[in-house]
């Protein structure tokens, strides 16, 4: 069977939006859930999980985080990963080396965290009084706060939970003593990228490997080498001048990939729509995340949520809460909603599901 864009669209939607299951199983299946602090109308991690977890409610991941075998970490973006993935990321070599002064400050922080268990950055700043530093965007911050972030990235600390959205830190567990070779572990991380975002244009695959490889030169080179070894084992096809790849053992043209005629409002960070290059290739229009643009420059809106109808992204919605009521402004690429007989009922069902998800 000749592979078509229609096959790839159906495959991209069906394999990612699997049948809703338990929270832990969904997290294990995904392998990574991107996090974002914006709530419009909920955080990205919650909006991603609501389509994949039975009965999921906004905030559930944060509420259950301490009981789940998860870690907050930077993978290809910042988010939540299972602990085996985090153990590999702990081996990452940072691109920026600490000065002797920073190393001494880090030792002070480690001793402080070891003594107190779980710590709030504000308490660390008050007790250690390490002064202020200049941030990358021109402001100032407590030196200890910036150091905590760097120690978390280096795998010295873990996020034990959050208080009002602020990370609470604890000592990170030591890596398992019997870990496989780093080369083998990096290949697994590359396969996770493919599993999460397939089918991927080759250019997007290389970009994601670049994100994974952010670090010192040896780490970066090891990630690239692992990607080349994995890529050599992946099925690939060239379609309309674009090279695509996907996990071994899967056939995008297979009839097993079935998509129900259902409407879904997706977070801009959902795996189905995250890669803007792939989005435009599959759905034929340009979607962008505009929350950080000045309002006059926005064309879609502050937090435009792609509107997925079956396997077609037909537009976007801007959602807000006003006086405890969910308000939805929907926009369609075609200028009008689909003429399908079941569309109006599907829209009503999706908005009702959002009400339940948001505890309204």
pLDDT band at 132 (very low <50, low <70, confident <90, very high): low
CB 234 within 8 A of CB 246: yes
pTM over 0.75: yes
Residue-wise pLDDT for 309-357, tens only, equals: 999 999 999 999 988 899 999 999 999 999 988 999 999 999 999 999 9
Query: How is the beta sheet containing 325-332 ordered, strand by strand?
Result: 263-265, 305-309, 312-322, 325-332
- Residue-averaged pLDDT of the chain: 93
- Burial (0-12, 13-18, 19+ Cβ within 10 Å), 176: exposed
Residue of 107, 111, 89 whose CA lies nearest to 98: 107
Residue 51 above 80 pLDDT?
Answer: yes
The fold of 100-171 is Arc Repressor Mutant, subunit A (1.10.10)
- Burial (0-12, 13-18, 19+ Cβ within 10 Å), 251: middle
Residue 30 above 70 pLDDT?
Answer: yes
Residue 135 above 80 pLDDT?
Answer: no
**For residues 93-122, average pLDDT:** 91
Residue 138 above 90 pLDDT?
Answer: no
Residue-wise pLDDT for 222-281, tens only, equals: 999 999 999 999 999 999 999 999 999 999 999 999 998 999 999 999 999 999 999 999
Report the alpha-carbon distance of residue 121 to residue 150 in Å, rounded: 13
Residues near 16 by beta carbon (within 8 Å), at least 6 away in sequence: 196, 270, 271, 272
CA angle 280, 284, 286 (to 5 degrees): 50
Q: Which of 113-117, 125-129, 353-357 has the lowest mean pLDDT?
A: 125-129
Could you tell me if residue 310 is left (phi over 0), alpha (psi between -120 and 50 degrees) or otherwise beta? Answer: left
Residue-wise pLDDT for 175-215, tens only, equals: 888 889 999 999 999 999 999 999 999 999 999 999 999 99
Report the alpha-carbon distance of residue 232 to residue 164 in Å, rounded: 46
Angstrom CA distances, 82 to 63, 85, 344, stand at 17, 6, 38
At 116 the pLDDT is 95
Cross-strand pairs, 78: 74
CB 12 within 8 A of CB 282: yes
Report the alpha-carbon distance of residue 176 to residue 179 in Å, rounded: 6
pLDDT band at 142 (very low <50, low <70, confident <90, very high): low
Domain segments of the chain: what residues?
Answer: 100-171, 263-357
Sign of torsion over alpha carbons 84, 85, 86, 89 = positive
Query: How is the beta sheet containing 236-239 ordered, strand by strand?
Result: 200-201, 242-245, 236-239
């Amino acid at each position: 069977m000749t592979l078509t864009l229609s096959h790839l669209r159906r495959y991209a939607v069906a394999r990612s939006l699997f049948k809703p299951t338990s929270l832990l199983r969904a997290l294990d299946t995904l392998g990574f859930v991107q996090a974002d602090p914006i709530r419009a109308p909920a955080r990205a991690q919650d909006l991603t999980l609501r389509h994949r977890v039975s009965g999921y409610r906004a905030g559930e991941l944060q509420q259950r985080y301490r009981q789940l075998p998860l870690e907050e970490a930077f993978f290809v973006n910042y988010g939540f990963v299972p602990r085996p993935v985090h153990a590999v990321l702990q081996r990452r070599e940072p691109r920026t080396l600490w000065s002797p002064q920073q190393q001494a400050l880090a030792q002070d922080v480690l001793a402080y965290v070891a003594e107190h268990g779980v710590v709030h950055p504000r308490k660390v700043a008050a007790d250690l009084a390490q002064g202020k530093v200049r941030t990358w965007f021109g402001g100032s911050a407590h030196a200890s706060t910036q150091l905590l972030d760097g120690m978390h990235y280096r795998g010295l600390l873990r996020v034990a939970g959050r208080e009002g959205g602020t990370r609470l830190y604890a000592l990170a567990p030591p890596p398992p003593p019997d870990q496989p070779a780093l080369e083998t572990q990096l290949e697994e991380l590359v396969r996770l990228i493919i599993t999460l975002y397939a089918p991927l244009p080759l250019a997007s695959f290389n970009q994601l490997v670049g994100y994974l490889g952010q670090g010192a030169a040896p780490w970066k080179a090891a990630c690239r080498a692992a990607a080349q070894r994995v890529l050599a084992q992946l099925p690939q096809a060239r379609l309309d001048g674009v090279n695509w790849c996907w996990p071994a053992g899967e056939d995008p043209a297979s009839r097993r990939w079935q998509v129900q005629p259902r409407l879904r409002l997706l977070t801009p960070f959902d795996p189905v729509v995250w890669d803007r290059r792939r989005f435009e290739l599959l759905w034929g229009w340009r979607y962008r995340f505009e929350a950080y643009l000045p309002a006059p420059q926005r064309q879609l809106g502050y937090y435009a949520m792609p509107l997925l109808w079956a396997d077609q992204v037909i537009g976007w919605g801007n959602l807000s809460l006003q006086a405890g009521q969910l308000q939805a402004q929907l926009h369609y690429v075609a200028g009008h909603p689909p003429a399908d007989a079941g569309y109006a009922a599907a829209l009503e069902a999706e908005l009702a599901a959002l009400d339940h998800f948001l505890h309204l």
